[in-house]
Amino acid sequence: MSEQQQQYWPIFTEKDEIKTFWNKKPINFVKQTISYQQLMKRISWKSNKPTEYEFLLSEEGVLFYKKNNKVKGYVQLNEDISLKLIDLKISNKKADAVKVIRIKRTKDIFLYIWNHDYQYTFQFLKYLCQFCFVQNLDELYTLQDVIGKGGFSKVYTLTPNIRLPNQPFNYAGKVYNKNELLSKKDLKKFYHFIRSECYILKRINFPYVLKLCEIIQLEELLILVTEYIKGGSLYQYLKERKRLSEIESTQILLKLALGLQQVHNLGYVHRDIKLENVLIDKDQLKLIDFGFAEKICRDRLVNGQGTAGYIAPEVFMKQPYQEVGDIFSLGVIFYSMLSGKAPFRSNTYDALLKLNKECQIEFSELRFPNVSQKTMYLLKAMLSKQPENRINLQDLLNQLTVCQILSPTNNMASTQSIVEGSVGISFNHLQSKNTLKSFYQNSQNSFTENHSQMSQQKPSKNLRDRRYKSQSLDKKGLLLKSSSFKPSLKNIYQIKIEQSDDNISITDLDQPIPYENLRFLQTSYQTLNCQKFI
């Protein structure tokens, strides 16, 4: 290995430039939230005499030790501090060799801690792994099957060799090989990419961003241990479904935007948002692969790499890549979900890059059937060619959270929640055929009554403007005739549905709502919330 290569492998090593292990300066211990504490024995690099102390770990990664209920010292843990389980011989007796945790800050400054019960030693190690890198694999995990491959890494399933209570049965391990990584021309760039990815994921604990559990640095391998998502990518999900509904697409977009907000708040941009970098499994959704993530630079373009078809147009103009660059890539995903097709398509890579650069995007109604005008406006704002005209993340979140279709904390909206949330009537009650018929007839009557009342009054200028704005125009600019079917739920809260033996039976309650009736209810819901019709 050349001298230059030695600078970039191992990726993680002890780099603290300190002369003592513990910080002795005063600290406000009361403000610390303790996540784990345990009585442990300690041997330091200065003394071989085992001494028992109480060790405490805060949620922010500060490790304290106390004696007689008084804080003696503390250290802020980070990715430049190593952990390793080793067998340490306490005395000359063979039986005295015990498993200890070595916490190492520099080549010469370290300490050993352990508990007489190995279960507590191992448990403490797992807590410490949240903040440091660890130099053990066999004591922690077993590598299983390959579940994915990247440009310079492979992803394996991992099973814990010692499973703690409430610990998952499986993890995913992104494995980098030393020889493959050192063969890269841009070794320095990849080194910083990996460091940035770990820095970001270690500091984000959010439902819609993949959780990095541990960093395992070995002599020949680097393994990033993450949570395991059983389902596939959003690309696979969309390929099976062809196209997603407006409701589901908007909800996925909101979750991704919330996850992206966490990244931007750290001062980083993702730079490789695409369908393949979103994992989805039932109600779970995770933004993954931060290999191209970098610190936000507003003065110049640091790196022009990205995935063709998702690259923000300003990158081709050598302009700085800022937060709105990620918004453009997010818009490509939103476009693909709503239409079932990518905005840029070609059989060759060069042609795809050219289309991406020109950024001529089709937004025709044929491409987006049953998509509201409000959503189309949002999509166009995300895919604006000029970054200064593109919607920013906060405004995007404001638009999405104001929308009544979903809320940021809910799971995927089910038909049941849609119906109950929009009309305020028990879903079980609606399962009766007669009740549903009554509900439908009343909704139509309410529209007829409201329409007749409105026809007697001269509409205001604002109402006329709104009506013309929402109706479609033909090629000559004339108003097209609106459909005669416009379900209205304005007075639905006032509907009184009588329950009687003739109206509802046990058999009726067990019957699901017919598909065509569900379609009516969903259309009514979208009408109220998306404001596609007036």
User: What are 426-474's pLDDT values in tens digits?
Assistant: 344 444 444 444 544 544 444 444 444 444 455 555 544 444 443 444 4
Is residue 471, in this structure, part of any structural domain at all? no
Which of these ranges, 87-96, 286-295, 304-313, 342-351, has the smallest mean pLDDT?
Answer: 87-96
Which of these ranges, 21-35, 245-259, 365-379, 451-465, has the smallest mean pLDDT?
Answer: 451-465
Is residue 459, in this structure, part of any structural domain at all? no
221 lies in the same domain as 98:
no
Q: How confident is the model at residue 236 (pLDDT cuts 50, 70, 90)?
A: very high
Decide which of 173, 207, 227 is a domain's last residue: 227
Does the pLDDT of residue 324 top 70, yes or no? yes
How many domains, the chain? 4
471 or 190, greater pLDDT: 190
Distance CA 326, CA 318 (A): 16
CATH code at position 212: 3.30.200.20
Instruction: Give the residue from 125, 71, 126 showing the smallest Cα distance to 102.
Output: 125
Does the pLDDT of residue 480 top 50, yes or no? no
Would you call 437 exposed, middle or buried from its count of C-beta atoms within 10 A (0-12, 13-18, 19+)?
exposed
Is residue 474, in this structure, part of any structural domain at all? no
128 lies in the same domain as 149:
no
Residue 262, pLDDT score: 97
373 lies in the same domain as 244:
yes
Other Cβ atoms less than 10 A from the Cβ of 436: the count is: 20
Distance CA 122, CA 140 (A): 9
* Structure-token pair, residue 280: 């989805």
Top mean pLDDT of 269-273, 499-503, 521-525 is at 269-273
Distance CA 393, CA 262 (A): 11
Is residue 466, in this structure, part of any structural domain at all? no
Residue 59, pLDDT score: 94
147 lies in the same domain as 221:
yes
Residues written for the chain: 534
155 lies in the same domain as 98:
no
Per-residue 3-state assignment (H helix, E strand, C coil) for 127-166: HHCCCCEECCCCCCEEEEEEEEECCCCEEEEEEECCCCCC
Distance CA 289, CA 303 (A): 17
362 lies in the same domain as 298:
yes
Whole-number percent of the chain with pLDDT over 90: 60
With both helix axes pointing from N to C terminus, report the angle between 246-265 and 323-339 in degrees, rounded to the nearest 10: 160
192 lies in the same domain as 239:
no
CATH code at position 94: 2.30.29.30
Is residue 261, in this structure, part of any structural domain at all? yes
* Structure-token pair, residue 311: 């690259």
Q: How confident is the model at residue 414 (pLDDT cuts 50, 70, 90)?
A: very low
Instruction: Give the residue from 13, 32, 130 showing the smallest Cα distance to 74.
Output: 32
Decide which of 227, 255, 271 is a domain's last residue: 227
- Compute the average pLDDT of residues 27-34: 85
Does the pLDDT of residue 95 top 90, yes or no? no
Residue 333, pLDDT score: 98
481 or 510, greater pLDDT: 510
Q: Is residue 180 classed as helix, strand or coil in its secondary structure?
A: helix
- Residue 226's alpha-carbon distances to 155, 172, 173, 262, 342, in angstroms, are 10, 5, 6, 18, 29
Q: Is 94 annotated as a binding residue?
A: no
Residue 10, preceding peptide bond in cis (omega within 30° of 0): yes
Given a contact cutoff of 8 angstroms between Cβ atoms, the answer to whether 110 and 103 are in contact is yes
Give residue 215's domain range: 141-227
- Compute the average pLDDT of residues 93-110: 86
Distance CA 314, CA 462 (A): 39
- Compute the average pLDDT of residues 261-280: 96
Mean of pLDDT over the chain: 80
Extended strands (E) in 416-472: none
Does the pLDDT of residue 217 top 70, yes or no? yes
Q: What residues contact 38, with CB distance under 8 A and at least 6 apart?
A: 54, 55, 115, 120, 123, 124
Distance CA 187, CA 114 (A): 38
Would you call 469 exposed, middle or buried from its count of C-beta atoms within 10 A (0-12, 13-18, 19+)?
exposed
- Compute the average pLDDT of residues 20-43: 90
Residue 32, pLDDT score: 87
- Compute the average pLDDT of residues 251-259: 96
User: What is the pTM assigned to this prediction?
Assistant: 0.73
- Compute the average pLDDT of residues 5-34: 87
Distance CA 526, CA 529 (A): 5
197 lies in the same domain as 256:
no
User: Where does 178-322 have alpha helices with state H?
Assistant: 178-182, 187-203, 234-241, 246-265, 313-316
Q: How confident is the model at residue 259 (pLDDT cuts 50, 70, 90)?
A: very high
91 lies in the same domain as 196:
no
Residue-wise burial string across 197-227, b where 16 or more C-beta atoms lie within 10 A, e elsewhere: bbbbbbebeeebbbbbbbbbbeeebbbbbbe
393 lies in the same domain as 250:
yes
Is residue 478, in this structure, part of any structural domain at all? no
* Structure-token pair, residue 202: 């270690």
Does the pLDDT of residue 221 top 80, yes or no? yes
Decide which of 181, 208, 227 is a domain's last residue: 227
- Compute the average pLDDT of residues 208-222: 97
Residue 519, pLDDT score: 55
Instruction: Give the residue from 201, 203, 226, 194 showing the smallest Cα distance to 213.
Output: 226
95 lies in the same domain as 161:
no
42 lies in the same domain as 92:
yes
